Structure 1
Amino acid sequence: MRKLLIISIWLISANCFAQDLKYARKTLNTLTSKELWGRGYTKNGMAKAANFIESEFKSFGLQPMDGKDFKQPFMFSVNTFPDKMKLIIDGKKLIPGNDFIVHQASVGLKAKTDLEQKDSVNFLAASSRILVTLEDKLTWSVSQKVEDYTQILIKKSALSSIPKNIVIDIENQFIPDFSAANIAGFIKGTAKPDSTIVITAHYDHLGGMGSETFFPGANDNGSGVSFLLSLAKHYAKNPPKYSIAFICFAAEEAGILGSKYFTENPLIPLDKIKFLINVDMVGTGETGATVVNATQYPKEFKLLNKVNEEGQFLVKINPRGKAANSDHYFFTEKGVPAFFMYTQGGISAYHDVFDKPQTLPFTVYENLFKLFVGFNQSLMN
């Protein structure tokens, strides 16, 4: 029986993989495009990404999870940087994203002043409430609040000497009621429609920093959304025994807010979820993958490893314990059995402007696809 399962997985994958990889690449290019502007908080980026995902769900023939609408709207606060992003240090104009970033909780400011060195990496203009910090690597994020000072993080390699003078013109806009939406659809099961397997991924990223710089977010998490959509497309053509649902969450980068909202306002009874698998950053895989919650659900992790070993899909699947580091977390807290999987190896770009689609190898995409199909089939059996 097990051999027949593996053979059927291989046949399914062989017939559809080439087309699915082509679709995933095309989808990734769309999600990381300038038009979607980092799937964030300026230039309507997140809303455009939501509309794209909704249109894909509709084209596959998925049904809205609540029977009415694919979108589950909610609101939260966020600090944004929609326009001016100018920085000159000692007469040298620095490039946003490449040479410097503004701390995500900073207030906007226009000033010209001298800097006082406080230690080896921190420089202060106290009267203007400016803090300059030198970093080896620039990593951006999202803030739900605004501080009363402006912090600039500069890449050490962008400067030839310690900074002494700063010219700054940066605009921020705090939005207390930013509108976003989770996108949820499902395929009705052929034998046990009341039992549901859920695949999730967050579609938001960091958006833009100023009017000319955006963060593409290819691996984080264009890769996960592309993978999820490929699975949705596959299962729409091959309905499984259980119902299978697909949820793309907003506001993961702001504090896993979309999944928190969903678990507090579920569109399906949470006790109907047989298992949930969250994917984030699955565009690599040379050295294998890691599963968060593996120690929480040893039976399912053993099953996942068995499917992997028999199919020789991934080099290694590393177990990890409970962690509040992605959208699986609040489901686990509500008693829903869930894994969070991410791949490892390959590119090191993360929360920076270099996380681009052309650098993403999709190393184990085919085998990851086979692993998911096999694991889901095993759960249903």
Structure 2
Amino acid sequence: MYRFPLLLLITIIISFDGLAQDLNHAKKTINTLASKKYWGRGYTKNGMAKAADFIEKEFKKFGLTAVNGTDFKQEFTFAVNTFPGKMKVKLNGVTLKPGRDFIVHQASKGATTTDSLIKKDSITYLSKNGNIALSIQPKLTWSVAQKELDYTVIEVSKTAVLTEPVVIDVAIENKIETTFTAANVVGMIKGTVKPDSILMFTAHYDHLGSMGNKTYFPGANDNASGVAILLDLVKYYATNPPKYSIVFIAFAAEEAGLLGSKYFTQNPLVPLKNIRFLWNLDLMGNGDAGATVVNAMIHPQEFALLNKINGEKKYLLKINPRGKAANSDHYFFTEKGVPAFFLYTQGGSPAYHDVDDIAKNLPLTAYENLFKLFVGFNQRIIN
């Protein structure tokens, strides 16, 4: 039997243990943020505020400093439609499960009624009194709304429609929060040589919250996974401070319309002109099919550098280029002239904005390699 030299064996063990620790830390973060305690990191049961407190505690634990010197949180307010109470629907006398058999459209008004249904087309039915619309859908995908309609829209999974819909029973409560308070969580590591030059990592920590008092949307991939890699980057740079300053932002209210990042760019805590490059991290939980980079086509030089690093190290199967898109928190920075990429992984679980986006469904296939890719890219930018 071949025996490794002791020093080499110890080195290999330490190396693999270090990687395992990062992945274990990621899994722990995702499990925590996607748990029932945080209630979908949304607008009821204090879910979003609890998540902000958790992230602030992590920032402090790793030694980040507040950008303004005193407070890690940047608060702002907005209106949002919430569903804190009853969430019951019966179709032809059969009780449907919220989140799995049906969702209520995010802008819907609450309703308590029993009514007959009138068929309008192959997937749409209206209640006789006109205040309920029912739509049959192949997949249930939820979101967040800032306003309230004057009627109720219920989307039902086609797998739950066993017979022609004739009668509907509804008991749904909604509440418009006109001044909901949320907070971006912001921390920094000061650069050792050029502290006024900034690299930035961002990830939104909010998700959809709950639909009723019994159903919440865990949001493991979207975007507990992004927060996980953000915190691992915090941990890394805290012990390996670079020449440039690095600012980390966990944004609130992305799902309500990129509100946290919009507020930050309108009320920046650092000069936007000092940001050399920004990485927005969203949907980090997969990666067996590679990743896509938004803004690749408007920053071809940086995208070429990214592909060069990936080609050298074989971190990802492929990196697909995409143009400008207003689909995550990089967007308002792009509009202000800040060079930014939004990277999201592909493959793995198809769960998205639904109750199946849970921690155990995430393979984290490319997680460790993504971490190395970000660190490697930043190093090239700094040098």
Assess same fold via TM > 0.5: yes
Q: Is the 8 A contact 1:13 1:370 kept in 2?
A: no
Match of 2:161 in 1: 159
Instruction: Provide Cα deviations, 1:301-331, integer angstroms capped at 9, x if missing partner.
Output: 1111111111110010111111111100100
Query: Once superposed, which parts of structure 1, at least 4 consecutive aligned residues long, lie more than 4 Å away?
Result: 10-15
Aligned match for 2:18, one of 7, 11, 16? 16
Partner Cα separation in structure 1 for residue 72 and residue 15 of structure 2: 28
> Which letter maps to 2:225?
S
Instruction: Provide Cα deviations, 1:179-231, integer angstroms capped at 9, x if missing partner.
Output: 00000001011111111100000000000000000000011011101110111
Question: Is 1:98 the counterpart of 2:107 in the alignment?
Answer: no
Partner Cα separation in structure 2 for residue 36 and residue 172 of structure 1: 20
Gap change, CA 1:272 and 1:59, over 3 Å in 2? same
Match of 2:228 in 1: 226
Match of 1:289 in 2: 291
Instruction: Provide Cα deviations, 1:31-89, integer angstroms capped at 9, x if missing partner.
Output: 00100000000110000000000000000000011111000000010000001001111
Q: Is the 8 A contact 2:115 2:128 kept in 1?
A: no
Question: Is 1:76 the counterpart of 2:82 in the alignment?
Answer: no
1:19 is paired with a residue whose SS is helix
Match of 2:251 in 1: 249
Gap change, CA 1:12 and 1:80, over 3 Å in 2? farther
Q: Is the 8 A contact 1:293 1:321 kept in 2?
A: yes
Match of 1:3 in 2: none
Partner Cα separation in structure 1 for residue 264 and residue 54 of structure 2: 20
Partner Cα separation in structure 2 for residue 327 and residue 160 of structure 1: 41
Partner Cα separation in structure 2 for residue 359 and residue 48 of structure 1: 23
Which 5+ residue runs of structure 1 have no aligned equivalent? 1-9
- Report deviation, 1:125: 0.8
- Report deviation, 1:162: 1.5
State the TM-score, normalized to the length of structure 2: 0.95
Question: Is 1:378 the counterpart of 2:371 in the alignment?
Answer: no
Q: Is the 8 A contact 1:13 1:366 kept in 2?
A: no
What percentage of aligned pairs have identical amino acids? 63
> Which letter maps to 1:298?
P
Match of 1:328 in 2: 330
- Report deviation, 1:16: 3.0
- Report deviation, 1:15: 6.6
- Report deviation, 1:241: 1.2
Match of 1:43 in 2: 45
Q: How many residues align?
A: 372
Match of 1:301 in 2: 303
Taking the TM superposition and a 5 Å limit, the aligned residue runs for 1:50-61 are: 50-61=52-63
Partner Cα separation in structure 2 for residue 108 and residue 66 of structure 1: 42
Match of 2:214 in 1: 212
Partner Cα separation in structure 2 for residue 67 and residue 163 of structure 1: 59
Superposition RMSD on alpha carbons, in Å? Answer: 1.4
1:63 is paired with a residue whose SS is coil
1:294 is paired with a residue whose SS is coil
Partner Cα separation in structure 1 for residue 15 and residue 121 of structure 2: 57
Partner Cα separation in structure 2 for residue 182 and residue 367 of structure 1: 27
Match of 2:314 in 1: 312
- Report deviation, 1:126: 4.0
